[in-house]
Structure 1
Amino acid sequence: MTDFRISYGTEVAVALRDGRPVVALESTIVSHGLPRPQNLRVAREIEQAVRDAGAVPATIGMIGGELVVGLDDAQLTRLATVDGVTKLSVRDLAVAAATGADGATTVAATSAVAAAAGIGVFATGGLGGVHREAAHTFDESADLVTLAQTPITVVCAGVKSILDVGATLERLETLGVAVIGYRTRRFPGFYLTDAGFDLDWSVDSPEQVAAVLAARDEHAVHTGGLLVANPLPVDEQLDPELHDRTLAEGLARLERDGVTGKAVTPYLLAYFHAATEGASLAVNVRIILRNADLAARIAVAAVARTSAVPA
C-alpha cells in the first residue's frame, strides 16, 4: 500500500502533522450502502459526529484515479451522487488508479489506505465476513485477511447479520484478529444487539481501548488489526422477528436472482430497506453514528495517552 500515491485533505494533513486524533471513514457506505439522497446527508453527519467527539474525520475514496484521505465536501458529493462509482477492495486499487476511476473504498481498502496514511482508528457500520454457504462458494470478504495484516483498530457493530456470523468469528480467531466487546461480552449482529455468540474480552471505556493499543505497541508481538464490537442498545435494534423474516425472504430472492460475490451485500441491504419500510435504514444510520462517536473518543484517548508518556 505504501507504493500508492495518496492525496490528503487539508484538515487531515494538518491534523496528522500536528499529532491530533484522526478517524478514518469508508466511502462505500456513501456510494453503495445508503440510498440517495439520504447518503450524502448521513455522510456529513458521520463526519460531524467525529468532530463533535474531538477528532478529525478522514473519509477515504478515489477521485479520478487518485486516492484521497480526507475527501472535501465536493468530492464527497461526487461519490454520493454520480453514477458508475466503483466499489473498491484492496485488489482493485491499482487497476482503478491506472484507469482513472471514481471509487468508493470498502472496509478492506479503507483499512489498508488508512494504515498507510498513519491513521490508526477506523469507524464503519458492520464488518464483512464469511458468507452463508461459503463451504461451497468460498465466498469470504477480503475484510478479514486485510485486518489480519493491517495495524488498524476498527469500531463496528459486529458483522452484518446477513452473513455467517459464527464462521466469521472462527476465521477472525484463525487469522489472529483480536475481538473485544465494548461494554458487552456478546458479539453484536449489526441490526441486532446480540448475534448469539460470546466474546472472550470486553472493555468499558475508550481509555481501556487506548491501553490495549499501547500494550500492543509496547510488546510488538502483533501487527494485525483490533476489532471493537459496539452493539446497539436493545431498544434501538431492528425488531428481531422482523429481521429474521426479512432475512429469510431476502436470501430466497438472492438465490432466485442469482446474485453472487460483492453484489450480495448491497442487494440484501437494499431489500432490507424496502421490506422494512425504512426501519433497517434508520438502524443502519444509528449504528454508524454511534461507531463514529466511539472511534473518535478512542482516537482522542490514544493521543492523550501518547502525549502523557515522557519522551
Structure 2
Amino acid sequence: MIPITYSAEVSAARENGTAIVALESTIITHGMPYPQNVEVARLVEGDIRAAGAVPATIAVMNGTLHIGLDDDELTTLAQTKGVAKLSRADIAACIATGGTGATTVAATMIAAKLAGIAVFATGGIGGVHKGAEDSFDISADLMELAQTDVTVVAAGAKAILDVAKTLEVLETQGVPVIAYCQDDFPAFWSRGSKLKAPLRMDDPAQIARAHEMRGLMGLPGGQLIANPIPVDAEIPAAELAPIIATAQADADKAGIVGKGVTPYLLQRIFELTNGRSLEANIALVRNNARLAAKIALEIGTKP
C-alpha cells in the first residue's frame, strides 16, 4: 500500500467536491531561501483559495507522500536541509526508504494523478537543455506530460532551455501546448519567445473541456497551458539572452551536469539580474496558480 496522507483541507475538498489545484514543492526547497520560500508558498496557496479552489502542495516527508501540507508541515519542509529533488525515477525509492523529497513537475503530476487532482500549477516546465545533442539532457517533465493526464499551467518552458527543441519534443509526444490569450509561446520570465504556440485558448472553460475530451477519447497524457507572465513583471527576452548565455558558460566552466544544472543557472541568473529574476518568478507562479484555479473550477461542470 502506498503511504499517502491528505491534509485536512484537501480531505474536506475531496469529500465535498471542491476544486483542488496541485502545487510542486521544489520551488520551496530548491527555489529560494528560508523564510522567503515559505512566505511565497503561502501567497501562492492563498491565491488559489481566493479563486475558490483548494491548494494541495505535494511532497514526500519521512517516507509518506503528502497531498497538501498544513502550515507546520510547510514550515518544516521550508527549513529542512538536504531535501532530495524527486522525479519519476526516484520518487518511489524515496518513499520506500523513508526519505524526504520535494517534487518536480513530473513527480507532482504522478502524485496528483494518484490523488485524482486534474490541474497543477507550476512556474515553468523542464525541457530540452541547450547542448542536448551532446549531453542528451532532456527533462523527464516532457515524457510525463505525454503519459499522465494532468493539465499543467506554466509560464512556458524555463528560458534557460532550448525552447524550440522543447516544443518539438512535446509535439512528437502528442502533448497539447495551449497558449493562454496570446499566439506566442511564452518564455518564462518573458511574455514571448518568437515561437508560435500550436494552440490558443482564451477561456478557462475551453481548457477544462479540452482536458475532459481527452479523457473521453482515451488519449494518454496531459495538457500544457502556457500562461504568459504579467506585463508589469516580465523581463524582456532581449535583455535576458546575454545573461542566460553568461550563466550557461559559467555552468559549463564549473562542470555542472544533470539535476544540478537548473538550480545553478537559476541562481546565477538571480545574481546577474540583481534579484529581478526571482521577483518575476514569484509573479508568474502566482499568475499560474490563479489561472489553474479557474480551470479546476470548470472541470466537471456542464458546458
TM range (shorter): over 0.9
Contact 2:193 2:237 in 1 (8 A): no
Q: Specify the alignment match of 2:6 in structure 1.
A: 8
Q: 1:27 aligns with which of 17, 25, 33?
A: 25
The farther-off stretch of 3-12 and 259-268 is 3-12
The farther-off stretch of 117-126 and 15-24 is 15-24
Alignment of 1:135 onto 2:133 = yes
Alignment of 1:118 onto 2:78 = no
Q: Tell me how far apart the structure 1 counterparts of residues 207 and 225 of structure 2 sit (CA, whole Å).
A: 8
Deviation at 1:102, TM superposition (A): 1.4
The farther-off stretch of 49-58 and 77-86 is 77-86
Q: Tell me how far apart the structure 2 counterparts of residues 38 and 204 of structure 1 sit (CA, whole Å).
A: 33
Q: Specify the alignment match of 1:278 in structure 2.
A: 275
Q: 2:156 aligns with which of 131, 155, 158?
A: 158
Q: 1:177 aligns with which of 170, 175, 178?
A: 175
Deviation at 1:243, TM superposition (A): 1.1
Q: CA RMSD in A?
A: 1.3
Q: 2:189 aligns with which of 188, 191, 203?
A: 191
Q: Specify the alignment match of 1:298 in structure 2.
A: 295
Cα deviation, 1:107-135, whole Å, max 9, x if unaligned, reads 00000110111000000000000111111
Deviation at 1:221, TM superposition (A): 3.5
Normalising by structure 1, we get a TM-score of 0.94
Q: 1:226 aligns with which of 196, 199, 223?
A: 223
Following superposition, which runs of at least 4 residues in structure 1 exceed 4 angstroms of deviation?
Answer: none
Q: Specify the alignment match of 1:108 in structure 2.
A: 106
Contact 1:180 1:199 in 2 (8 A): yes
Q: Tell me how far apart the structure 2 counterparts of residues 225 and 160 of structure 1 sit (CA, whole Å).
A: 18
- Summarize the alignment of residues 200-215 of structure 1 with structure 2, pairs less than 5 Å apart: 200-215=198-213
Q: Tell me how far apart the structure 1 counterparts of residues 230 and 278 of structure 2 sit (CA, whole Å).
A: 16
Structure 2 counterpart of 1:196, which letter? K
Deviation at 1:212, TM superposition (A): 1.3
Deviation at 1:73, TM superposition (A): 1.1
Q: Tell me how far apart the structure 1 counterparts of residues 89 and 268 of structure 2 sit (CA, whole Å).
A: 27
Cα deviation, 1:253-280, whole Å, max 9, x if unaligned, reads 0011000001111001111111111100
Structure 2 counterpart of 1:54, which letter? G
Contact 2:185 2:195 in 1 (8 A): yes
Structure 1 counterpart of 2:25, which letter? S
The farther-off stretch of 195-204 and 179-188 is 195-204
Residue aligned with 1:61, SS = strand
Deviation at 1:74, TM superposition (A): 1.3
Runs of 5+ unmatched residues, structure 2: none
Contact 2:230 2:287 in 1 (8 A): no
Contact 1:63 1:103 in 2 (8 A): yes
Q: Tell me how far apart the structure 2 counterparts of residues 240 and 117 of structure 1 sit (CA, whole Å).
A: 37
Q: Specify the alignment match of 1:43 in structure 2.
A: 41
Q: Specify the alignment match of 1:89 in structure 2.
A: 87
Normalising by structure 2, we get a TM-score of 0.97
Alignment length (residue pairs): 303
Cα deviation, 1:161-213, whole Å, max 9, x if unaligned, reads 10010111000011111111100111011011111211231111111111212
Q: Tell me how far apart the structure 1 counterparts of residues 213 and 85 of structure 2 sit (CA, whole Å).
A: 35
Deviation at 1:151, TM superposition (A): 0.6
Q: Tell me how far apart the structure 2 counterparts of residues 82 and 221 of structure 1 sit (CA, whole Å).
A: 41
The farther-off stretch of 90-99 and 105-114 is 90-99
Runs of 5+ unmatched residues, structure 1: none
Q: Tell me how far apart the structure 2 counterparts of residues 147 and 233 of structure 1 sit (CA, whole Å).
A: 25
Deviation at 1:242, TM superposition (A): 3.2
